[in-house]
């Protein structure tokens, strides 16, 4: 049985997550991901990570958070909803993923983690830990599942029964012993809508995604020319793709957020109506200064839009 001190610390950590503005918080023990190790190794050997060579790096750290934070005891996983009220930028002839409508989520989550850590330190004392937001060798979906925040759906995204899957995921790895939350049941059942809807057949089997065929990979991670085999399969997506989430029955429960840092600006809406030749580097740099879309740079986004001209 956990000590009162551990339970008290756990309540403080979860209260810190709530005060920082996170929607969900779950905790799991920091340990080696024994079941994930052979799956990750097999996925990499099949080259399903495409040109994302960085996924081969730090294999041991990716599987063991104790190699990222000395004396790590707990992985605190959080979810932050980004479901937009207006999803029109994902519905026209040229589409962008909902997660990229507003401010880059890396900045937003890291700011919230600073608030969270400050609260934990104030109420517990000196704590050693690090926050991670999709920028280090951390298997965020696995930890979110272990922390009971949801289950990994057949499209490989985290799903919640009451809010769907439009969430950002982050982790706070701490040297604190905390009460853990067990994983929840998989509620995908016999549904295969995400598999059936993927235009590039990237979901090769339930829970298995060939990243090198995913439209998000093709429009963001791939730095070379998009292979011509995909020219009739992009369905208008210029940055990212939401198809597997759009068709998921659980997203009928997704709760739209009020206008905030993840909402699209009027300038962004106008940008995707501009002729390609009018999009200058200066315009791009100003508009996407704090946006996830800046990852593609102007050259990458222009490549995507040019490729779509053959498709839309």
Q: Residues with catalytic annotation?
A: 134
Residue 55 in contact with residue 49, Cβ under 8 Å?
A: yes
Phi, psi dihedrals of residue 247, rounded to the nearest 5° = -85, -5
* 246: its two tokens: 């759009």
**Phi then psi dihedrals of residue 38, to 5 deg:** -70, -30
d(CA 23, CA 209): 27
Q: Is 169:144 a contact under the CB 8 Å cutoff?
A: yes
Structure tokens at 158: 């985290």
Of the candidates 237, 152, 147, 149, the residue with the CA atom closest to the CA atom of residue 194: 152
Please say whether the beta carbons of 308 and 94 come within 8 A.
Answer: yes
- Read off the DSSP letter of residue 294: G
Rounded (10°) CA dihedral 19, 98, 207, 295: -90
**For the chain, how long is the longest CA-to-CA vector?**
66
Q: Measuring CA to CA, which residue among 25, 23, 28 is closest to residue 143?
A: 28
With contact defined as beta carbons under 8 Å apart, do 179 and 75 qualify? no
Beta-sheet pairing, 74-81 with 151-152: unpaired
- Asked if residue 75 lies in contact with residue 65, where contact means CB atoms within 8 angstroms, the answer is yes
């Amino acid at each position: 049985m956990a000590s009162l001190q551990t339970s008290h610390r756990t309540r403080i950590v979860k209260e810190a997550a709530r005060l920082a503005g996170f929607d969900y918080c779950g905790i799991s023990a920091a340990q080696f991901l024994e079941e994930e190790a052979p799956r990750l190794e097999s996925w990499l050997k099949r080259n399903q990570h495409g040109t994302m060579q960085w996924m081969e790096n730090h294999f041991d750290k990716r599987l063991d958070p104790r190699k990222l934070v000395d004396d790590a005891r707990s992985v605190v996983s959080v979810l932050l909803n980004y479901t937009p009220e207006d999803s029109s930028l994902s519905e026209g002839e040229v589409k962008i993923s909902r997660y990229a409508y507003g401010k880059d989520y890396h900045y937003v989550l890291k700011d919230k983690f600073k608030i969270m850590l400050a609260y934990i330190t104030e109420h517990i004392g000196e704590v050693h830990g690090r926050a991670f937001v999709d920028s280090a060798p951390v298997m965020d979906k696995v930890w979110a599942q272990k922390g009971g925040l949801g289950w990994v759906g057949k499209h490989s995204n985290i799903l919640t029964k009451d809010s769907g899957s439009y969430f950002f995921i982050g982790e706070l790895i701490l040297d604190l012993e905390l009460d853990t939350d067990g994983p929840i049941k998989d509620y995908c059942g016999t549904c295969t809508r995400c598999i059936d809807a993927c235009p590039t057949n990237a979901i090769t089997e339930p829970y298995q995604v060939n990243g090198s065929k995913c439209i998000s990979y093709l429009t963001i991670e791939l730095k070379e020319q998009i292979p011509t085999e995909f020219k009739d399969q992009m369905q208008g997506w210029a940055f990212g793709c939401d198809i597997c989430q759009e068709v998921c029955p659980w997203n009928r429960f997704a709760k739209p957020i009020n206008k905030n840092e993840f909402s699209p600006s009027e300038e962004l809406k106008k940008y995707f109506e501009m002729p390609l030749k009018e999009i200058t580097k200066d315009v791009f740099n100003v508009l996407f200064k704090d946006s996830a879309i800046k990852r593609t740079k102007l050259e990458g986004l222009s490549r995507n839009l040019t490729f779509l001209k053959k498709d839309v």
